[in-house]
Structure 1
Amino acid sequence: MYLLARRFGVVAITLALAGCTTTPAEFNNKPAAVSKAALCKTALETQDPAFQFQLVSEVNRRGMSMLECEQMVAQQRQAAAVLVGLALVGTAAAVCANGNCGGGGYTPYRRYPGNCYSYYDRAADGSLCGNRSAMSRPGGWQ
């Protein structure tokens, strides 16, 4: 359930950021109602030169430059990337917390409580256990 909620959050953020543009009809209806973010993003992404001219004119009317628009859109994209990255890291951490991603070794008699039972097991950080393993130490694991 937790993973489903995180995935829904990522999808919602992605759709919200994708929706931060405006159409010619919305813009022509009431230019002042269009947010600065939507105005800048649309001005930078549109392929229609006439519509782009209208958008740049509105940006200038609001006292901004296109350089400021580019910086604003770049910051929004970076923030979106950070949010998506945090969501992915959080999801991975939740999966590992539930599924014991740290590795663990095969023990024929008893369950070893750590990650490094044998030389070929992987430690929690993903590295090979090698000589740190329980079986590599004198006396092995008791």
Structure 2
Amino acid sequence: MKITYLTRCFGAAAISLALASCTTTQADFNKKPSAVSKAALCKTALETKDPAFQFQLVSEVNRRGLSMLECEQMVAQQRQAAAALVAVALVGTAVAVCANNNCGGGYYPSSYYQGNCRYDWQYDAAGHRCGRRSAWSRPGGY
């Protein structure tokens, strides 16, 4: 169970880091600008602090027929998708942990109480209603 939990956490972290680091370096961009994906180009253009590099990136964005508004929308969608993916991974992990640890409450496994009359609404082996004979109705419970 611990391995599954750790695997899911590692997977969620890896996916979020991969989506978050979808940028390009100036060296990679200068080698072959056409090889840089639109997503990496837009994200880098929006996040870089170097004005000269930003000018080159914006020029390439415009050459590809995109506007900076479209780039902003694309980056926002990627961030939302990354957040949704992480949320789904976390919820899946929480559900798996709860399923393995019975944290949702409900009925306990039969190993905790071996008798037929755990609750007053149940019936004993002879078919009679348990009522006040149930473990639930007695002082100290089951």
TM-score category, normalised to shorter length: 0.7 to 0.9
Change (3 A) 1:30 1:102: same
Aligned to 2:72: 70
- Name stretches of at least 5 consecutive residues in structure 1 with no aligned partner: 112-116, 118-133
Aligned to 2:12: 10
- Name stretches of at least 5 consecutive residues in structure 2 with no aligned partner: 114-118, 122-130, 135-142
| Structure-2 separation of matches of 1:141 and 1:93 | 37
- What are the residue-to-residue correspondences of 1:34-53 with 2, within 5 Å? 34-53=36-55
TM-score, normalising length from structure 1?
0.72
Where relative contact order (Cα < 8 A, 6+ residues apart) is larger, the structure is 2
Aligned to 1:128: none
| Structure-1 separation of matches of 2:106 and 2:59 | 63
After the TM superposition, which parts of structure 1 deviate over 4 Å for at least 4 consecutive aligned residues? none
Aligned to 1:31: 33
Aligned to 1:123: none
| Structure-1 separation of matches of 2:35 and 2:46 | 18
TM-score, normalising length from structure 2?
0.72
| Structure-1 separation of matches of 2:65 and 2:78 | 20
State how many pairs are aligned: 114
Deviates more, 1:14-23 or 1:89-98: 14-23
SS in 2 for 1:84: helix
